[in-house]
Amino acid sequence: MNIQELNEHFQHHYGDSAEALRAFYAPGRVNLLGDHTDYNGGLVLPSAIDYGTTLLVRRRSDKVVKLASRNFNLVAFLSAGELQQKYADHWINYPLGVIDQFRQRGIDIAGLDLLYSGDIPNGAGLSSSASVEVVTAFAINSLFELGLDALTLVQMAQAAENDFVGVNCGIMDQYASAMGQVGHVMKLDCGSLACEQVPVELGDFSFLIVNSNQRRELTESKYNERFSESRAALDVLQQSESVETLAQATLEQLQTHQEALGDMLYRRARHVVSEHNAVKKAAELLRNNDLVQFGALMDQSHVSMRDDYETSTSVLDALVDISRRQMGVLGARLTGAGFGGCVVVLIESAELPEFQKFVAQEYKDSTGLSADFYPVSLADGARELSA
């Protein structure tokens, strides 16, 4: 939907005003390697993608905040006293959590009219929630001329999801949405927040996102359970090892303490450490344009997510297996938190039409579900648009 159409919908919802109407955009993200390492202080390899959330916003003369979305039916008119109230399973918790973060910093957010519109598949693991949080934070910062830097806004968006929504996510999703650079992936250290933008030359290849349409809800899934398990593994290691985060451990240290960890915590920790190490290797492979070995790392990562961290599902496994059998595919893995959502595939561009044809049929025959296909480009992060 273009800005002109959104303008028309905005006028339908909110009417005319002398206040200026402004437009902001924040993309979703695809994570190529390093899932579940972010909240363990490890390395991740995400990129912003060319799907995201557009926000039209206008200041009001009163203290009422009005929220509407082109993607959901719920429209909310909230007074100042209602802005800290959480709503069960509603998208408005994401912008409300961000507004709450500003208020916790003593910043009084006056009235706003907000209209959101996104093209990220909801609940698919491409960070539609982070996109909403980031675009809200960037818009409020600009609209009220607060002068907060981008990293502070990213941290506020993450805190909104942790503290208000109730998902113990790391900073990767919000960081990727805010800081993306076209044609690059981010080698992001989620412990130190050091970030290297790694250029990617895909040549005759493309990244393709395949939505399994097995929907997930992170607060209802085992995401927070995995968070707790990784913390438990770290507690065991810290009894005798000088590690501040699980990602700092070595595979040798894990083997030394395998009995103390027990089978389940050992496998959880092994995934985190292996993924952290894989991102280091993957960044070098991309710098050297070695897509074949990069694809092999994608395959290995999916096995680790499936067997050690147990965040895949039989549906996702089927989709990955079917994808790998097709011509021109260098690698395939689930992307994001898992428990449903999407698979990312590295594939020869010329094979995309045949891939989509055969995968759609085989996946439907195997699972009864219909897959959706999203060729993606590595895109820029959050920004203001011309309204």
pLDDT tens-digit profile, the chain (387 residues): 688 889 998 998 898 888 899 999 999 999 999 999 999 999 999 999 999 999 999 999 898 999 999 887 767 777 877 777 777 668 889 999 999 999 999 998 889 999 999 998 776 667 889 999 999 999 999 999 999 999 999 999 999 999 998 888 889 999 999 999 999 999 999 999 999 999 999 999 999 999 999 876 654 568 889 999 999 999 999 999 999 999 999 999 999 999 999 999 999 999 999 999 999 999 999 999 999 999 999 999 999 999 999 999 999 999 999 999 999 999 999 998 888 889 999 999 999 999 999 999 999 999 999 999 999 999 999 999 987
pLDDT for the residue 221 = 65
Residue 102 shares a structural domain with residue 176: yes
pLDDT for the residue 220 = 55
Residue 58 pairs in a beta bridge with: 113
pLDDT for the residue 336 = 85
Q: Report H helices in the chain.
A: 3-14, 93-104, 128-143, 150-159, 172-179, 223-238, 251-256, 258-287, 291-307, 314-324, 352-367
The residue assigned the tokens 């996104």 is 118
pLDDT for the residue 124 = 64
Residue 135 shares a structural domain with residue 224: no
What span, in angstroms and rounded, lies between the C-alpha atoms of 45 and 43? 7
C-alpha distance from residue 18 to each of 12, 58, 79, 164, 291 (Å): 16, 10, 21, 33, 53
Residue 357 shares a structural domain with residue 292: yes
Give me 363's structure tokens: 């996946």
Would you say 346 and 205 are in contact if contact means Cβ atoms under 8 Å apart? yes
Residue 347 shares a structural domain with residue 211: yes
Residue 327 shares a structural domain with residue 229: yes
What is the amino acid identity at position 197?
A: Q
Residue 177 shares a structural domain with residue 323: no
C-alpha angle 197-270-311 in degrees, rounded to nearest 5: 80
**What total number of domains does the chain contain?**
2
Residue 335 pairs in a beta bridge with: 342
What is the amino acid identity at position 378?
A: L
Q: Which residues are catalytic?
A: 173
Residue 33 shares a structural domain with residue 7: yes
Would you say 379 and 49 are in contact if contact means Cβ atoms under 8 Å apart? yes
pLDDT for the residue 71 = 85
What span, in angstroms and rounded, lies between the C-alpha atoms of 342 and 316? 8
Integer Rg of the chain from CA: 21
What span, in angstroms and rounded, lies between the C-alpha atoms of 262 and 259? 5
What span, in angstroms and rounded, lies between the C-alpha atoms of 322 and 265? 30
Residue 171 shares a structural domain with residue 264: no
Residue 209 shares a structural domain with residue 144: no
pLDDT for the residue 86 = 75
What span, in angstroms and rounded, lies between the C-alpha atoms of 276 and 272? 6
Residue 60 shares a structural domain with residue 121: yes
* Non-local CB neighbours of 4 within 8 Å, separated by 6+ positions: none
Would you say 267 and 230 are in contact if contact means Cβ atoms under 8 Å apart? no
The edge-to-edge listing of strands for the beta sheet with 342-348 is 329-335, 342-348, 205-211, 372-376
Residue 78 pairs in a beta bridge with: 65
Q: What is the CATH number of the domain that holds 91?
A: 3.30.230.10
pTM: 0.91
Q: What is the CATH number of the domain that holds 310?
A: 3.30.70.890
User: Residue 17 sits in which domain range?
Assistant: 3-197+380-385
Give me 328's structure tokens: 């021109």
Residue 153 shares a structural domain with residue 286: no
Residue 189 shares a structural domain with residue 216: no
